[in-house]
Amino acid sequence: MVDSRRRNGLILIKGFHAEFAGPGAAVGGAFDADSQQAIPVGDFCFVCPLSPAERQKAFGIRRHWVRLTEQLTAKSVAAERAQMILTQFEQYFDLETVAQIPDRALALLVGVFPQTIRAARQIDN
């Protein structure tokens, strides 16, 4: 699971979308068998759950992160989704960390083209 005591996470690139697994979230196994790439974000660190209860909690936290990302995709305008994902990541991580995340990875999180993320980044600057 992703270490819950650090500002970190993992963007998991899948076939046609991406998922963000933030602090405390379970990673691997059947959840991520279809992952094509993993992009660490922040001060990334894996830890192993110490008990079945901790593992179960990590699965719940993973669902929570998926739901949060899903809420960002509720906007029908692509530019708004791009701006929202950037804003969320910039509020949690520092600007330098967010600048290092590939446009494609952020785009796959909210269902937009990488060019839309690039344009939203330019608006921020």
Encoded tokens for 47: 């830890």
Instruction: Kindly report, residue by residue over 24-78, the tens digit of the pLDDT.
Output: 999 998 889 999 999 999 999 999 999 999 999 999 999 999 999 999 888 889 9
Domain count, the chain: 1
Distances (CA, A) of 23 to 89, 91, 119: 13, 15, 28
Residue 17 lies in a domain: yes
Residue 3 lies in a domain: no
Q: Supply the pTM of this predicted model.
A: 0.94
Please give the average per-residue pLDDT across 109-120, as a whole number. 97
Residue 87 lies in a domain: yes
Residue 84 lies in a domain: yes
Instruction: Kindly report, residue by residue over 66-80, the tens digit of the pLDDT.
Output: 999 999 888 889 999
Encoded tokens for 74: 């509720």
Give 87's contacts (C-beta < 8 A, 6+ positions apart). Answer: none
Residue 22 lies in a domain: yes
Residue 58 lies in a domain: yes
Confidence of residue 125 (pLDDT cuts 50, 70, 90): low
Domain with 106, as residue range(s), is 8-124
Please give the average per-residue pLDDT across 86-92, as a whole number. 94
Task: Number of helices (H) and strands (E) in the chain: give both, helices first.
Answer: 5, 3
Residue 115 lies in a domain: yes
